[in-house]
Structure 1
Amino acid sequence: MEIIKDTTDFYIQGPTAVAIGKFDGIHKGHRKLFSDLIEEKNNGKKVVIFTFDPSPASFFAGATVPGLTTRDEKRKWFEENGVDVLIEFPMNAQTAATDPVEFIERYLVKQMGAKYVAAGQDVSFGDKGKGDYKLLDAMGQKLGFETHFITKVEIEGREVSSSLIRQEVADGHMENVSKLLGCPYTLHGIVSHGRALGRTIGIPTVNVIPSKEKLLPPNGVYYSIVRVGDKILRGMTNIGTKPTITDENLVVSETYLYDFSGDLYDKEISVSLLSFKRPEMKFSGVDELKTQMSLDVENGRLYHHSIETAKYNWNE
């Protein structure tokens, strides 16, 4: 997959099938759109994803606004699912003020060779977000590209959207998040060295410092599944700052792996949060912490034995 970033001066030899959007979370609605794009790839078009970097939310806030999917996670998913070219269009004062008609004529048609453009009906682009699906449709008829607009996917009576999923993550409703995304909410990272306290009390953990780009659920204990290479392991994950043992305000993901022994330092792992157990707590000392962690571990065994982990599609 070719990645075009940090420039507005690019050219793609068409014909192309282009999807426009922020793609935060790559949820079931996005996946419906991608399935249509792949059909166009089978018809001889290059698949192009047009997104923004930084995200519009981060640009207008003037700081990183955590999202459901980091830049690296998006890149990996796009590459694994057949995208030919990913455009991370630079979001700045100049590009944000681009006239919507100019955006279509210059970028979509002239520089991308678009013959098929897909987006959600809530798509917005150009100066003050004035470009919308109606303008795309009208310009498509004028300039010779086909448009395809995805209606919202509904699950249990609710429209699937990135904003809804972000709220569910913020509330710690991980089962709902899994349904809306089509897979569990997952943190990716490199296993780092911690204080080794868990090892000294008989409950060793693997530690990952989450990306600042990643929206985190409330601090607390979660039942989890961890992927290491081709292995899938059951786990219990604490997201938080470890207030019993440190005053540092660094949020860390610490996962105890059931029935596992080995060295995972400096290896890349994926931690999928399945269910919230309890909030993070500050205990009177290490002994009380160990007692609670031991109880959490036992409850986790019961949880994992009660669910069908095979129901989660790890290839999505």
Structure 2
Amino acid sequence: MKIVHLTYPVKENILSSKVVLALGFFDGVHLGHQKLIKRAKEIADQKNLPLVVMTFDRHPKEVYEDKKNFKYLETLEEKADKMSELGVDYLAVMPFTKEFSQIGAQDFVDNVIVKLNADTIVAGFDYTYGPKKIANMDRLPDYAKGRFDIVVMPKQIFAGKKIGSTEIRQAIKDGDMELAYELMGHHYVMSGIIGHGKRNGHKLGFPTANLIWADHKVIPKIGVYATKTEIDGKWYDSMTSVGYNVTIGQEKKIYIESNLFNFDEDVYGKPMKIKWYKYTRGEIKFANLDELKKQLEKDQEEIKAYFAE
């Protein structure tokens, strides 16, 4: 899969051939997104055309609602990994600027969709490309003027709830990793590099890899989790703490530290990924390090048993 960075107005086609174009922001590439992309892939295969997914470099709410601290389920790289797995040929990324947010619905159709050489558009029922009242999926045929086909995907429901990125972000903030998994169809992932921590875990016999992550990612609720952690292409069962190191008295900064089972190597500076499975307990302030060590032993035993099941 190739990532293409667009500019507005789109000046030339990504490909000389027609394309099937899936539209959406796709944060988290959850079950609803997957269904949409799989439908677009089916159409692309039937028509023997490449599949292009168009997304934005930031969530439109950052611009429309001036949300400076918007938290994401995925970085662009993480999103691209998921798209590649789903058989997408091109991920086209449009910068969502203040100027772009002000273009009209007809301009979006003429200078984005048509310029990208779309044969067929696939988008969710609630996709908008300007003010909701006029730039919605019901009105798209008026702007399309017969130049491309339109496929609208209905609302996706799980256990009576809409499958949406907002609901998934909330589940992660609540530490409900099982619900996040059920809505996403995959485990929440945080990636980054391994930085230098305080080595407190090392002194207690529980060495940890300290994750340095993209600061706009959703952070799970403070506590301890059953996780799997990838280093050098290999996944290890692990327990991961999200917290302030309250026993040690470091309360200013959140740390995400993974203790990998059956692993003890010097890996500073290397890439790392954490898959989140289950919240096991909240953060506790212990009277001393001996008490903390006993709890870590208990945590490890419990999480090993969880993965053994």
* Residue matched to 2:187: 184
* Residue matched to 2:223: 220
Q: 2:8·2:111 contact (CA, 8 Å) conserved in 1?
A: no
Q: In structure 1, give the amino acid aligned to 2:197.
A: G
* Residue matched to 1:72: 77
Number of residue-to-residue matches in the alignment? 304
Q: 2:10·2:116 contact (CA, 8 Å) conserved in 1?
A: no
* Residue matched to 1:314: none
Q: In structure 1, give the amino acid aligned to 2:120.
A: Y
* Percent identity between the two aligned chains: 30
* Residue matched to 1:143: 146
Q: In structure 2, give the amino acid aligned to 1:108.
A: I
Q: What secondary structure, in the 3-state scheme, does the structure 2 residue paired with 1:271 have? A: strand
1:152-210 deviation digits (Å, cap 9, x = unpaired)? 23222322111211121121111111111111111112122212111111111111022
Gaps of 5+ in 1: 307-316
Pairing 1:77-226 to 2, within 5 Å after superposition: 77-109=82-114, 111-127=115-131, 130-140=134-144, 142-226=145-229
* Residue matched to 2:5: 4
Q: 1:15·1:113 contact (CA, 8 Å) conserved in 2?
A: yes
Q: 1:14·1:112 contact (CA, 8 Å) conserved in 2?
A: no
Counterpart-to-counterpart distance in 2, 1:138 and 1:218: 46
Q: In structure 1, give the amino acid aligned to 2:81.
A: K
* Residue matched to 2:49: 45
Which has a greater percent of helix? 1
Q: 2:38·2:86 contact (CA, 8 Å) conserved in 1?
A: no
* Residue matched to 2:24: 21
Q: What secondary structure, in the 3-state scheme, does the structure 1 residue paired with 2:138 have? A: helix
Q: What secondary structure, in the 3-state scheme, does the structure 2 residue paired with 1:189 have? A: strand
1:144 shift after superposition: 2.1
Q: In structure 2, give the amino acid aligned to 1:243.
A: V
| Equivalent residue in structure 2 for 1:304, among 288, 304, 307 | 307
Asked if 1:242 corresponds to 2:263, the answer is no
Gaps of 5+ in 2: none
Q: In structure 2, give the amino acid aligned to 1:77.
A: K
1:80 shift after superposition: 4.1
Q: Provide the alpha-carbon RMSD of the alignment.
A: 2.0
Counterpart-to-counterpart distance in 2, 1:301 and 1:62: 40
Pairing 1:253-292 to 2, within 5 Å after superposition: 253-292=256-295
- TM norm structure 2: 0.91
- TM norm structure 1: 0.89
1:248 shift after superposition: 5.2
The 1:6/1:246 distance shift into structure 2, 3 A limit, reads: farther
The 1:228/1:129 distance shift into structure 2, 3 A limit, reads: farther
